[in-house]
Structure 1
Amino acid sequence: MPEEYRKEQFPPKGVSNRNKGLEWIRKNARSGVIYFADDDNTYDLELFEEIRHTKRVSMFPVGLMPHLGVCTPVVEKGKLINFYCGWIGDRKFPIDMAGFAVSVEFLLTRPRAWVPFLAGYEETGFLVSLQPFEIPDIELLASNCTKILVWHTQTKENDEPAPVDLDTYGHTNLAKLGEIMM
């Protein structure tokens, strides 16, 4: 991490490593899928079977997120209509780093794509840098985002997540995810 970012109260983590990885991929790869795995996550092998078919950008739920229990695209009748994540802010793509994958072929056509040194905006900054790329272009995995195939499994204690608001989300994939998390 560059020295100027180490002094911040909330430094952007993993950015240098991810950008070096993107640099290596641009020089050495022509096909495949990029997935930013973390050492504090647990993965179902099914995730890797699903992401291997990513054509552009695929997304899927991440479980055990603080406060809400899950970070996911909200899907209604097979269509992404919103995002459900603990902190949305003014992010175009409020998704966790573990909740998306990108095709190498797609990345190679976007030479300006990179992960920004901006804490809390690493994911959305990277996804926005893939322009032209918009929300309708997202490929929904994990049975239309009704299965959790990646879990944050940090060894720190978190509060119990809030139950899913079924009045608002009962007609979406969150109803099914709420059952999984209970």
Structure 2
Amino acid sequence: MRNLSLLLLWGLCGLCRSCIFSTESTTDVNECEDTTVCPAYAICTNTVESYYCTCKQGFLPSNGLTQFRGPGLTCEDIDECSQNPQACGPNSICRNLPGRYKCSCLPGFSSPTGNDWTSIKLGHFSCKDVDECASPRICPQHATCHNRPGSYSCVCNQGFASSSGNMSFRGPGETLKGRG
């Protein structure tokens, strides 16, 4: 029995040696060197004897799979501006761009990150009301400034009227006169 075990062991070692000391080698082809294997806006990842594609940030594959390959597939732009909640937030304008989006504030609002903020920049975009009444000469003398979200109005003080006859107005060009 012991001799039989040694023979089996010797046979297995012979098999192992032929596997370990094999001189055959395989060379993997990098399919990603061909820039047409993946669609536009996709990244190619080479694997052993194969490859796969993934869409870049801001794009979704037409077949819905994260990793894919094959003819006829595309990476389609995500319209972040049509999503809910809005990508740019309240009091802003969102403009969709390929793979990203751009945010700007509505008139009367400003952002600490500045207008024309894109999703590839750091930080979060938000618009805050501009207090136009902080400017001392926004309204003429004898009028009081009232700030409103995104705007303001000048209201004539008691005993005064604007040149247009309105008690409330906005913008330059109005002069006040005393009512007698």
Higher helix proportion: 1
If each structure's strand is expressed as a fraction of its own residues, which one has the higher value? 2
Taking CA–CA contacts closer than 8 Å with sequence separation of 6 or more, which of the two structures ends up with the larger relative contact order? 1
TM, length-normalised to structure 1: 0.17
- Higher-Rg structure is 2
